[in-house]
Amino acid sequence: MGYSGTPSTTSLSADAQAPAGQGATTAQPAGKAGHAKAIAAITLGNGLEFFDFTIYSFFATIIGKLYFPVEGQLAQWMLAAGTFGVGFIMRPVGGIVLGAYADRAGRKAAMSLTLWLMTLGSALIAFAPTYAAIGLAAPALIIVARLVQGFALGGEVGASTSLLLEYGSARTRGFYGSWQFVSQGLNTVVGSLLGVALAAALSTAALESWGWRVPFVIGMAMGPIGIYIRRHLDETLPGVEGASSVETVAAAVTAAEVSMPVRRLFREHWRVIATGVLTTIGGTAANYIVLFYLSTYAIRILHLPMSSALWAAWTAAIVTVICSPFAGALSDRVGRKWVLGVSRVMLILAVYPAFFVINAMPTVPVLLAVVAGLAVLVAFTAVPNIVMLPEMFPRRIRATGMSVVYCLGVSIFGGFAQFFATWLIQVSGSQLAPAWYLIACGGVSLLALPFVGETAGRDIG
């Protein structure tokens, strides 16, 4: 059985009959409870996958030392950060392959597959021998693991975000979709707290010997948990087991359309892909710099202790978790473009002074205050962006379209953000260089915004 109050009967079918700009009929209390359970299941499962993928960044300095023994700590850090980015190379591939699978076999089937693949990647990292033990095979294993994880996450984002939006109505999709970003923040909260606990409880020798592997073992064990909590979700793709007959009739399509989502996507929607990728650049660069890079920056550049610096990641994540639903709800009321544009301009104006302040006063309280302020802006610029992407595509190619656009934008400008920021510091000699990177990405992303149609309040099918 699925959750009570399936999306097909409480909101989706009603939206299909309502005029554009009007929401679904009011759901019964049981339906609302069912939707709350569905959001929790999707969010928790998605958070588990992001935990597996992003925990690497919190231990990048240790992994660099153990698996990339080149001369100089900065070079080790760059190689470890580059390997973090390698996982993003496979995201567009995973987005195409697994997104198409989600548009043929259903959202649930694709999300189960991505969880198993993510578990495999975590296991490879958790038990990989170090360079001292097996030489060049050690960094090769880490790279393979990151490629597997990137492939998996590339498909997860499109399927899970599409499912969230398809549970919502024209008046609530922003709020529902915001939980995709909440799940990413939750994984960072858990990962940073685990990193702080390990750094505080273990000696440096123990942490470098075996302690850093603990989060990956935990992540490996989370795959089956994620599959279990998602097993009762209702499928929202027409024609797939679990989708209602009403929805199937309302969204009737041919078998050829089902079997060729990728070809249809690039043939009919290439302009949407281009504008979507450009708008994603600014949000994803800010997300990965503020949520993940600043803790490592605090250790390497500001020379703060690891246990203290990891609180920066925790602060950014908890602010993101709190602010994201408000950002989604606001975008439902005033429009995605308005919320995205205003917050992104504010972020561009704030980022250089923020880096200047933490370098002038490199203390933990100042770092946490700056990170909290930036995280508010990141939530309000990233949430409407990630909600808007799947809304641009019809349901039969929505997961594929969302996956391709998001992963192309994230792969280079998000995945390699830490590498680019570190490289800019090295070549320029300026510790403020990461701010330049964010300003450039934010400026480019705003150029495409006038060419994006407003999606809030519309029936998206």
Name the token pair of 22.
Answer: 């009007």
What are the structure tokens assigned to 1, written together? 């059985």
For 315-324, what is each residue's pLDDT tens digit?
Answer: 888 999 999 9
pLDDT at 160: 84
Question: What pLDDT does residue 3 have?
Answer: 42
Q: What is the pLDDT of residue 396?
A: 81
> Which domains can be identified in the chain, with CATH numbers?
31-451 (1.20.1250.20)
pLDDT score, position 310: 72
- pLDDT number for residue 12: 35
- What is the pLDDT, as a whole number, of residue 77? 63
Taking 70 as the pLDDT cut, the residues of the chain under it are 1-34, 49, 52-53, 70-78, 80-82, 84-85, 232, 236-261, 307, 461
| Nearest in space to 110 (alpha carbons), one of 265, 9, 226 | 226
